[in-house]
Each structure stands twice: as C-alpha cells, then as structure tokens.
C-alpha cells in the first residue's frame, strides 16, 4: 500500500521504518496536513497523520477526491478529525488507542514535581554556581489531595503513582473504575467537589465539545489558593486566559502543562530565532509559577515503538481487506455531566 506520512518527525521515522519492514511504500514529508497540502496525497491509498494535522470537512472531501481511502492517526486523540464526514465519505480512520499510558502519566508527575520543587530555577542557579536556596520552597505530596480528571488508561496510571506518594485520590469521569476504588481508595466525586478539595488537579480527559474550556473561571474560583493544575491531555480543555489571570492574581499556585490551547502552528517547530506572535504564550512563558514542555510527554522509546507498530498494523489490516480493531466510528457523545 502506498502511504503518505504527513508531519513526519526525524525521531519517529526509524521506528516507523523498522515496524514496516518494507511491507508498505512509505513516503515521509515534514509538511502538516491542511487544505493546501492535501493535494500531496494524490496517488496514495492511505495517509498517516499526527495530532497537529487538520482533517476538516474540506480536507476530507479533497482526500476523497484524490483517492485516499484510509487514514491512520499516530495518536490517541482524534479531536482533529471530523469522523462524521469521514464515515459519510467512506474513508476509514483508525488511531493508536493506547501506546504508553505510563509515558504520559510519568511525564505529568515529572512536571508536577519540577514545578512544585522549583527544579528549573534551582538548576539554573546551580549552573551559575549560585547555591542560594531562597524562594525554592515546595510542598510534600504525601497526604495531599490529588484530583484526577479522566480515569481511563492514563488517569489510572496517574492514580497508581500518586497512591504510591501517599496521596488521597479524588476522581471525576463518566464511568467509574472499580479497580481504582478497590486498589487505591480513589473516591469519585463531582467536578465541583474535586476542584474545591484538590491540592493538585491532573487532567487526562479527551478534548470534545463537552470538555472544551472545562477548566474556566467558574471552576477556578472554587479552587484552593495553593492548587496546582497539571495538563498533559489537550490544551483547550483549560481556558488559558482564565487560568493565566488566576495565576497572576495568585488565586492558584501554579500550572504545569505539556500542551497548549493554540499549539497547532507552533509546537514541533524551532522559533528560537523568531519569537512567535502569540501574546498569551509569551505571557505564560514569563510567569514564574508556570512550567511548560512542548507536547513531548509521549516521547519514550516504548511509546514510539508502540505507535509505529500499531500504525503499521492498521495499514496491514486494510491492505488485507480487513477491519482493524482500532477503527474509529462517529457516535453521539455521551455527556460527562
């Protein structure tokens, strides 16, 4: 099968080639998928896309006209795909449903600890041989209340890790995970109760119409002044402006995130010689109680291997005329409230 791989990154190409073993003809391009670049897919049976690629109605219609029949996502999230349109056009779409929950959850813990214990400024001082430790006070995680929004695969790993720290666990989800209740004494509560009680709020929800700007001023006003928000899910789950305002006013303690609401045209590119024209990002980056990484929570050897293996598996099944177990279908969203 001829496959065009959009948004291909240097670090992932060897993993994809190794998983493919020459079975499919993979063509890698660095350009992301958009209405303008869709024409590059002419002559390809399938395309592979990343989370930053756009698969709107217009793009999908163009891909259909160009003969593309299959789209395999190199991600779990699929909020960038209009599944209703894809299904209507007869284009099959599949994702990587769980490449490494540990990678994401462990990164969430890493940025939580780094922000809480002020590891970045401490290391910057150390590199300058400044061993003064003023203003580097954090807090123990033991006995703190951790609110976990989304207790699926990643949220479950987060619960297990935080339980190991000796934390009290609150969870919020449409479906309760009985194992988390039994094994880690997690208590399911309403979103409002969680926001009132949690010292740390860790987000592991998908982005959809129900969760867009879920964390806004209304919920922030319920939070403790020492609350710390961790987001390794999708940037638009939080209303960035509302959170930034709360940080400036010291309504909450801090923000640690690997994602950003307007990251699509920024992340995975080097702007070190050209400051991006994004005032919100510049202001966030300047705040001392904010720690951000550039959407690389998934970046482990295990995760990249799993993503590549599943991507090729999806292509294998389609080339054999079979359905892949990872196929995505449009369905009416069930409310989480």
Q: Which token pair is 14?
A: 């060897």
CA pair distance 147, 195, nearest whole angstrom: 7
Q: Whole-angstrom Cα distance, residue 264 to residue 79?
A: 12
Residue 43's Cβ-count burial label (10 Å; 0-12, 13-18, 19+) is exposed
Bridge partners, residue 327, by sequence:
94
Is residue 36 annotated as a catalytic residue, yes or no?
no
Q: Report how far residue 79's alpha carbon sits from residue 71's, in angstroms, rounded to the nearest whole number.
A: 14
Per DSSP, the three-state class of 49 is: strand
**DSSP category for residue 256:** E
Q: How far apart are CA 274 and CA 282, in angstroms?
A: 12
Q: 58: part of which helix (H) or strand (E)?
A: helix 57-65
Q: How far is CA 217 from CA 201, 233, 238, 244, 260, in A?
A: 15, 19, 10, 10, 17
Buried b (16+ CB within 10 A) or exposed e, 207-218: beeebeebbeee
Measured from the Cβ of residue 176, the count of other Cβ atoms closer than 10 Å reads 13
For residue 47, what is the enclosing H or E element? strand 46-49
Q: Reply yes or no on whether 163 is catalytic.
A: no
Cα–Cα distance list, 221 to 22, 224, 290 (Å): 55, 8, 19
d(CA 205, CA 152): 8
Q: Among 10, 93, 9, which Cα is nearest to 59's?
A: 93
Query: Of the residues 24, 45, 234, 317, which is catalytic?
Result: 234
Is 234 catalytic? The answer is yes
The number of residues in the chain equals 337
Which candidate in 263, 296, 301, 320 is catalytic? 263
The residues that are catalytic are 234, 263, 295
């Amino acid at each position: 099968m001829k496959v065009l791989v959009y948004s291909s990154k240097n670090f992932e190409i060897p993993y994809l080639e190794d998983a493919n073993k020459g079975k499919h003809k993979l063509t890698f391009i660095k350009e992301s998928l958009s209405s303008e670049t869709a024409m590059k897919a002419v002559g390809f049976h399938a395309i592979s896309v990343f989370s930053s690629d756009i698969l709107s109605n217009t793009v999908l219609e163009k891909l259909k006209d160009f003969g593309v029949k299959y789209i395999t996502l190199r991600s779990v999230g699929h909020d960038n795909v209009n599944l209703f349109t894809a299904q209507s056009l007869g284009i099959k779409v599949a994702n990587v449903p769980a490449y490494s929950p540990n990678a994401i959850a462990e990164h969430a813990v890493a940025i939580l600890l780094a922000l809480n214990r002020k590891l970045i400024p401490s290391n910057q001082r150390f590199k300058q041989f400044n061993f003064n430790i003023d203003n580097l006070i954090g807090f123990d995680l033991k006995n703190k209340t951790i609110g976990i929004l989304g207790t699926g695969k990643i949220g479950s790993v987060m619960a297990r890790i935080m339980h190991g720290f000796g934390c009290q666990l609150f969870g919020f989800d449409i479906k309760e995970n009985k194992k988390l209740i039994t094994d880690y004494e997690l208590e399911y509560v309403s979103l409002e109760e969680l926001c009132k009680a949690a010292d740390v709020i860790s987000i592991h929800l998908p982005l959809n119409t129900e969760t867009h700007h879920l964390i806004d001023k209304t919920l922030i006003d319920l939070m403790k002044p020492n609350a710390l928000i961790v987001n390794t899910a999708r940037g638009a789950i939080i209303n960035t402006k509302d959170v930034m305002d709360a940080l400036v006013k010291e309504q909450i303690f801090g923000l640690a995130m690997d994602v950003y609401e307007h990251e699509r045209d920024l992340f995975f590119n080097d702007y070190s010689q050209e400051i991006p024209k994004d005032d919100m990002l510049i202001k966030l980056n300047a705040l001392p109680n904010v720690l951000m990484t550039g959407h690389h929570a998934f970046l482990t050897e295990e995760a990249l291997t799993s993503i590549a293996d599943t991507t090729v598996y999806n292509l294998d099944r389609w080339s054999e005329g079979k359905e892949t177990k990872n196929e995505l279908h449009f369905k009416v969203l069930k409310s989480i409230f």
